[in-house]
Amino acid sequence: MALDEQKQPLVRVENLKMHFPIFGGLMRRRVGEVKAVDGISFDVFEGETLGLVGESGCGKSTVGRSVLRLYEVTDGTVTIGGRDIAHAPPEELRQMRTQMQMIFQDPQASLNPRMTVGDIIAEPLLEHRKMSSRELDDAVGGLMDRVGLNRNFAKRYPHEFSGGQRQRIGIARALALSPKFIVCDEPIAALDVSIQAQVVNLLEELQETMGLTYLFISHDLSMVRHIADRVAVMYLGRIVEIAPRDDLYDRPLHPYTQALLSAVPEPDPSRESTTERVILTGDVPSPSNPPQGCNFCTRCPQVIDICRQIEPEFQEVTPGRFAACHLLDQKPESAAKAPSEAT
């Protein structure tokens, strides 16, 4: 889906921080903090899918939960549809919940095993809508039809369904209040490969028919390339690059993005044999004690002295492309090498 330049951001995140305290000692005093999300900013435009990728532990899921205020954010602002989410009082936040929902990673853990499928899907409607029993049954049946579930199974329990069917139940629950914005937190990670494409196709179809906006969190770079309009890359609590999908996959600017994409398997054997991998050495630093300067400086194959001293500014490098790297400040053309050219 091509982005219309006239569209306005539905979601705007500015300098979002989510720090979790660390307590220690006999008195259980605060001795530090885990900087799970450390000052990130991005927009999600109406009707688009923004993919959020990065290795495990980089803070992707924390971003999704913080944007919906399932966590109380440490700092920063989050606005959805022009309304402040991060600092809204409880009653106002409850009213906003109808416009934003979440699809969780594990469909088994996110569904109450003691509730029937019909009750699970009906729960948001009972909380936020005044409906008769007949209207409620019709609404639940309609939602089950929309996600490809047999409405005659509404009295069954989650354990009676397969993993893909359980994820469809979670999607139906998320759609119950007709939200504008949905955070998809690795919705296919717990599913068989044969089912993943079905769920992603369903999400695309629902987006087209209902005008939905997605923040699609995943570590599956191939699937993100299929579904996303733009892609944001995270490393150790910070976003290092945001770009339109094709631009990012064809010519990544940040060294971490180059390394990440070079690890994607190439299905064509002739191209696979000529692909040069960017091998990162060392371990990911602790988010409770990130390195000085650039977070990636301890593993970057192109590191220079300034990287270890000053944090790079996240800025627009070319129209629509944002990155945080000192190499782009010094030599924007030659520094941004493709993965196969990186040393």
Q: Is the pLDDT of residue 188 over 50?
A: yes
Q: Is the pLDDT of residue 211 over 50?
A: yes
| Residue 59 vs residues 72, 153, 287, 333: alpha-carbon distances, Å | 15, 37, 9, 30
Q: Is the pLDDT of residue 334 over 50?
A: no
Q: Tell me if residue 54 falls in helix, strand or coil.
A: coil
Residue 6 is predicted with a pLDDT of: 56
**Which of 64, 71, 97, 102 has its CA nearest to residue 86?**
71
End-to-end CA distance of the chain: 34
DSSP sequence for 242-296: EEEHHHHHHS--SHHHHHHHHTS--SSHHHHTTPPP-PPPS-PPPTTSPPSS-TT
- Region 283-305: mean pLDDT is 92
- Region 299-308: mean pLDDT is 93
Residue 47 is predicted with a pLDDT of: 94
Share of the chain above pLDDT 70, in %: 92
CB 126 within 8 A of CB 133: no
Residue 330 is predicted with a pLDDT of: 61
pLDDT-based confidence at 273, cuts 50/70/90? Answer: low
Q: Is the pLDDT of residue 333 over 90?
A: no
pLDDT-based confidence at 2, cuts 50/70/90? Answer: very low
Indicate the range of 161-175, 196-210, 253-267 predicted with least confidence. Answer: 253-267
Distance CA 195, CA 249 (A): 25
- Region 98-121: mean pLDDT is 94
Query: What is the signed CA dihedral for 37, 33, 284, 62, rounded to 10 degrees?
Result: -30
> How confident is the prediction for the chain on average, in pLDDT?
90
Distance CA 214, CA 73 (A): 21
Domains and CATH numbers, the chain: 9-250 (3.40.50.300), 252-343 (no CATH)
pLDDT-based confidence at 126, cuts 50/70/90? Answer: very high
Distance CA 325, CA 104 (A): 32
pLDDT-based confidence at 15, cuts 50/70/90? Answer: very high
CB 245 within 8 A of CB 213: no
Edge-first strand listing for the sheet containing 238-244: 100-103, 181-185, 213-217, 49-53, 230-235, 238-244, 321-323, 315-318
Q: Is the pLDDT of residue 142 over 90?
A: yes
- Region 74-85: mean pLDDT is 94
Q: Is the pLDDT of residue 156 over 70?
A: yes
Residue 305 is predicted with a pLDDT of: 94
Residue 279 is predicted with a pLDDT of: 81
Indicate the range of 18-32, 36-50, 69-83, 247-261 predicted with least confidence. Answer: 18-32
Q: Is the pLDDT of residue 274 over 80?
A: no
Q: Is the pLDDT of residue 43 over 80?
A: yes
Q: Is the pLDDT of residue 137 over 90?
A: yes
Q: Tell me if residue 43 falls in helix, strand or coil.
A: strand
Is the entire prediction scored with pTM above 0.85? yes
Q: Is the pLDDT of residue 172 over 60?
A: yes
Q: Is the pLDDT of residue 153 over 90?
A: yes
- Region 12-19: mean pLDDT is 96
Per-residue pLDDT reduced to its tens digit, 229-244: 999 999 999 999 999 9
CB 177 within 8 A of CB 209: no
**Which of 299, 298, 321 has its CA nearest to residue 242?**
321
